């Protein structure tokens, strides 16, 4: 159950980031045969990072806020190692 709360905290952080960054929510849409996830993609990323980074809901929220940057850093570290 704790995993669920961490994922929700990360998703909430990502949602807040999208609102602060764009001053609105961008809804999912289709463009040129592709699906653009909009804020849903950010929430998925935030949920994943919120769970992976730490076992603290506050840290999970802040990690969700910075989710894409954290995933990029973890990915680059994995390639180096």
Whether 32 maps to a domain, the answer reads yes
Residue 69, classed as helix, strand or coil, is helix
pLDDT band at 61 (very low <50, low <70, confident <90, very high): very high
- Average pLDDT estimate for 44-51: 90
The residue segments making up the domain with residue 58 are: 2-73
Whether 78 maps to a domain, the answer reads no
Question: Given a cut of 70, is residue 81 above it in pLDDT?
Answer: no
Whether 80 maps to a domain, the answer reads no
Show contacts of 48-56: CB within 8 Å, 24+ apart: 48/7, 48/10, 49/10, 50/6, 50/7, 50/8, 50/9, 50/10, 50/11, 50/13, 51/3, 51/6, 51/7, 51/10, 55/2, 55/6
- pLDDT: which is higher, 1 or 17: 17
Question: Given a cut of 80, is residue 77 above it in pLDDT?
Answer: no
Whether 81 maps to a domain, the answer reads no
Number of domains in the chain: 1
Whether 79 maps to a domain, the answer reads no
């Amino acid at each position: 159950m704790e995993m669920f709360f961490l994922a929700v905290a990360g998703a909430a952080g990502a949602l807040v980031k999208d609102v602060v960054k764009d001053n609105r929510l961008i809804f999912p849409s289709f463009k040129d045969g592709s699906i653009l996830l909009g804020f849903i993609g950010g929430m998925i990323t935030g949920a994943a990072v919120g769970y992976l980074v730490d076992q603290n809901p506050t840290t999970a929220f802040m990690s969700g806020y910075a989710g894409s940057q954290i995933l990029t850093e973890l990915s680059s570290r994995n390639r180096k190692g």
